[in-house]
Amino acid sequence: MIVVGMLLLVLASLPGVPTRDSSAYIYIAEGMLNGEVPYVDRWDHKPPLIYLLDLIGLVISGEHLWGIWLLEGLFLVSAVWLAFTVLKTNFGRTAAFFSISMFLLYFNRFIDGGNYTEEYVILLQFLALHLFLRIDKQDHPKPWQPLAIGALAAGAFLLKPNLVGVWLAIGLYWVFSGRKALHRIYWSIAGAASVLIILFVVLKSVDAWSAFLDAVLSYNLAYSGSASLKDKINAGLSIAKNIEGFPLVITGWFIGLGYCLLRKTPRDQFELLLRLAIILLPIEVVLVSTSGRQYDHYYLVVLPVIAIFLSFFGRVLINVLDTFTDGGRVSQKDEFFVQTTATACLLAIVVNTSISYRGTYSDTLSRIRTIGTAGVIMRGDFSQVAEYVRDHTTPNNRILVWGAQSEIYLLSKRQSPTRFFYQYPLATPNYANESIFKEFLSDLENHKPQIIIDTRNMHLPPLDSAERLAWQLGSEPDSKLGSKPGSKRDLGFYSNSLAPFQPFFSLVETEYELIEEVGGCAIYKRK
């Protein structure tokens, strides 16, 4: 009942106005409903599966957001059920209860509004782990099982390339298992290749293959390459800082490593899963740190391996308590004492973590109350901007959001004049080029936006010349926004060069005028 209650509370945290990234995915999915093609008509750097999932959600709900929330809920409930089944089978009910409780606490801590690629991949991860364990039980596994593991690997890759840690670990385990496992590797490669070939055919048929490679491959390489080695190391170390109870995971990893070194071959499924987790944890840490960023939702992908080690920790605790009761041969009374004591200890850890994360549950309860009265929760001041746009434009008018706040398009039901509806690709070193800037400017001239909204994104130069000068110097001006004069902007990994933007600034100064400030944004309207 405790787990069910926690699951319901987590599910309640999903509905609401999507976050910046989620809004971009949904905006692209809306375009697909109208016959547009990702990458060609609306630019983003994620592989296409997240857009397809959001498209399915919009079709289910008739273009409303509740279809996406429903899909998220189905993925989460399925993942939790499968995770509990796998962990209970290998570590016992008490240990599985403990780890799933912690899993849900972590999930609610990092979900941040939901509809992230890292959220959907969790179900694929546990499906792959389930199939991996099933294959090991059989002397002659059926080809469809490793084939399915490969297809799941392709699915994870098509959500986000660095979400394939589970499959890398499975592949490494099979490689070191000798010749008997080679056919499993071949079938898995065939499964992944089949999915990727289908993707190639589909994108080729709509002339989007080159645009796909440019956005997903070229941009992501530039994005990751812009981070220093120090940034990536800090991103990896941040896992320990942001996940309460991570010392238990590290403790479990070292105990498990010693245990497996003493027993050279696994004797049961529990040891097999433990060996795989020992391989998987460092892989996930490295993959999470590739971008050098520390966004909360990045940590969702690590939760399955954390759940495995927390289950192992729970099992070790129970075994230690067993040794204090009659040499491990326990009476029914002693067994009850062991289970009760272990459950109390593990529940204390859950409660302590829950207290640490109480702010996220407070946000959830607030969200529930708001949705109950208003139907949807508005995030920040951008709802004010969207309302202003709806009141001062017609559905046929285009708007340009200068920044990355795609929720403005979503809430206002207005379209961007360019496929670069957010402008990070224009400011990313080793990706932005003259061709991209020419395309951007040409789009604005051919489909003139009625309104340009400067969200004052710290990674993009402001449209106001005085603010732009301060931005160049790395400080924020004392403006109507209430920003602190002289405080340093986090220019981060994006370009600080203004030269390529000058034609756009000239267009704004010539054809637009600053009308007013709404919700912390500067509103420019065509003269």
> Which one-letter DSSP state was computed for residue 481?
T
- The number of residues in the chain equals 527
Domain count, the chain: 2
Q: Which domain holds residue 129?
A: 18-367
Are 25 and 44 in contact by the 8 Å Cβ rule? The answer is yes
Say if residue 351 is in the same domain as residue 491: no
Strand pairing class (399-402; 451-454): parallel
Per-residue pLDDT tens digits for 261-319: 887 666 677 888 999 999 999 999 999 998 888 888 999 999 999 999 988 888 887 77
Does residue 417 sit in the same domain as residue 352?
no
Handedness of CA 259, 264, 265, 267 (dihedral sign): negative
Statement to judge: residues 386 and 354 lie in one domain: no
Helix (H, G, I), strand (E, B) or coil at 429: coil
- In terms of domains, do 352 and 450 share one? no
* 451 phi and psi angles, rounded to 5 deg: -135, 140
Structure tokens at 490: 């986090």
Same domain membership, residue 201 and residue 98: yes
| Separation of alpha carbons 294 and 297, rounded Å | 9
Characterize the bridge pairing of strands 521-526 and 451-454: antiparallel
Specify if 376 maps to a domain: no
Q: Is 35 exposed, middle or buried (0-12, 13-18, 19+ CB in 10 A)?
A: exposed
- Domain-embedded: residue 5: no
Q: Is the domain of 30 the same as that of 155?
A: yes
The tokens of 496 are what? 């600080």
Cα-Cα-Cα-Cα dihedral of 181, 186, 191, 193, to 10°? 150
* 398 Cβ contact list (under 8 Å, min separation 6): 414, 415, 416, 417, 447, 448, 449, 450
Which run of H or E residues covers position 514? strand 512-518
Does 359 lie in the same domain as 433?
A: no
343 and 447 assigned to the same domain: no
Domain-embedded: residue 11: no
What tokens does 380 get? 């920040």
Is residue 377 in a domain?
no
Query: Taking CA 290 as the corner, what is the angle to CA 460 and CA 244, rounded to the nearest 5 degrees?
Result: 100
Q: How far apart are CA 439 and CA 449, in angstroms?
A: 15
Q: Per DSSP, what are the bridge partners of residue 526? A: 512
In a domain, 202, yes or no: yes
Question: Alpha-carbon distance 467 to 458, whole Å?
Answer: 11
Per-residue model confidence as pLDDT tens for the chain (527 residues): 555 666 666 665 565 668 889 999 999 999 999 999 999 999 999 999 999 999 999 999 887 888 898 899 899 999 999 999 999 999 888 888 888 888 888 888 888 888 999 999 999 999 999 999 999 877 777 889 999 999 999 999 999 999 999 999 999 999 988 777 888 999 999 999 999 999 999 999 999 999 999 999 999 999 888 778 888 888 888 888 888 778 888 888 898 888 888 876 666 778 889 999 999 999 999 999 988 888 889 999 999 999 999 888 888 877 776 666 555 554 555 555 555 665 666 566 656 555 555 555 555 555 544 443 333 444 455 888 999 999 999 999 999 999 999 999 998 999 999 999 999 999 898 899 999 999 999 999 999 999 999 999 888 899 998 888 887 776 544 433 333 333 344 444 455 578 889 999 999 999 999 999 998 899 999 98
Residue 373 lies inside a defined structural domain of this protein = no
Question: Is the same domain home to 90 and 201?
Answer: yes
Count CA within 13 A, CB hemisphere, residue 93: 2
Residues 6+ apart with CB under 8 A from 146: 131, 135, 183, 184, 185, 187, 188, 191
Q: How far apart are CA 225 and CA 272, in angstroms?
A: 36
Are 354 and 420 part of one and the same domain? no
Does one domain contain both 211 and 145?
yes
Q: Which of 409, 411, 428 is nearest to 419 (CA)?
A: 409
- Tokens describing residue 167: 């499959």
Q: Is 251 part of a structural domain of the chain?
A: yes
12 domain-assigned: no
Q: Are residues 325 and 415 in the same domain?
A: no
